[in-house]
């Protein structure tokens, strides 16, 4: 390359760099005076002015932090058994109607694989009107915190909640017992009715019916 060609190449590079710098400064200046056009999100800050975190446009199938609606949870432990990393744990007691009453339910998201196997295992009977099971993966992706113990889902039933659940269990047990008793009595009454009908049918069959001829016509013995 000749000296003249080298000089021309250098000038060309300087020109390109200047154009790039001016373009960059124009973009920066535009966003400086129009903050609502900001497209870069600083981690841990709001995406746009006035828009809170966790409300980004996330696909519905996104596997984020787990959540359990404990009011619908039947405490079957299927989720804990399905979890490959044992990050789900719970404690419970058995109520008067033999259903389980939840004391606490924990999901340690620090060892969660976000595989969703626990939500698959959760039974269909826990579904709400929208067809959502009690254990779901939310679209919450950012749960950074200074304390490890705060990461994950943690439910601990207070005394008030336990009392209400025990009372509901006792009522269900009473209703079940009353329904069972009523069904047994109804069955007994039906059996007694059937026996009475059978007896009356048998009585009707043993009585010989009288014919018209046997009442008026004299016998051959009487005529001779």
**Residues within the interface to ligand SF4 (CB under 6 A):** 66, 68, 73-79, 82-85, 87-88, 107, 112-118, 121-123, 126, 134-135
Q: How far is the CB of 101 from ligand SF4 (least distance, A)?
A: 12
**Closer residue to ligand SF4, CB minimum distance, 132 or 197:** 132
Count of C-beta atoms within a 10 Å radius of residue 133: 21
Q: How far apart are alpha carbons 140 and 137 in whole angstroms?
A: 8
**Closer residue to ligand SF4, CB minimum distance, 47 or 138:** 138
Strands (E) located in the chain: 66-68, 88-94, 100-107, 135-137, 153-156
**Closer residue to ligand SF4, CB minimum distance, 77 or 96:** 77
For residue 194, what are its two tokens? 């059937």
Phi, psi (rounded to 5 degrees) for 36: -70, -15
| DSSP of 2-13 | -HHHHHHHHHHH
Q: How far is the CB of 203 from ligand SF4 (least distance, A)?
A: 59
Q: How far is the CB of 166 from ligand SF4 (least distance, A)?
A: 18
Q: How far is the CB of 55 from ligand SF4 (least distance, A)?
A: 23
**Closer residue to ligand SF4, CB minimum distance, 50 or 59:** 59
Q: Which residues pair with 90 in a beta bridge?
A: 105
């Amino acid at each position: 390359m000749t000296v003249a060609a080298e000089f021309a190449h250098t000038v060309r590079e300087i020109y390109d760099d200047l154009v790039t710098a001016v373009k960059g400064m124009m973009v920066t200046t535009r966003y400086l005076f129009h903050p609502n056009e900001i497209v870069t999100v600083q981690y841990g800050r709001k995406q746009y002015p006035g828009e809170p975190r966790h409300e980004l446009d996330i696909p519905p199938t996104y596997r984020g932090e787990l959540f359990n609606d404990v009011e619908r949870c039947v405490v079957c432990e299927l989720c804990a058994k399905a979890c490959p990393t044992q990050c789900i744990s719970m404690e419970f007691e058995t109520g008067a109607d033999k259903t389980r009453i939840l004391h606490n339910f924990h999901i340690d998201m620090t060892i969660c694989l976000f595989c969703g196997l626990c939500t698959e295992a959760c039974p269909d009977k826990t579904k709400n009107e929208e067809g959502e099971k009690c254990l779901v993966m939310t679209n919450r992706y950012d749960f950074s915190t200074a304390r490890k113990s705060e990461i994950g889902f943690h439910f601990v039933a207070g005394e008030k909640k336990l009392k209400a659940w025990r009372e509901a269990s006792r009522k269900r047990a009473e209703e079940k017992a009353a329904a069972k008793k009523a069904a047994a009595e109804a069955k007994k009454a039906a059996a007694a009715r059937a026996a009475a009908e059978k007896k009356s049918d048998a009585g009707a069959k043993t009585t010989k019916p009288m014919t018209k001829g046997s009442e008026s016509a004299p016998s051959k013995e009487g005529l001779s």
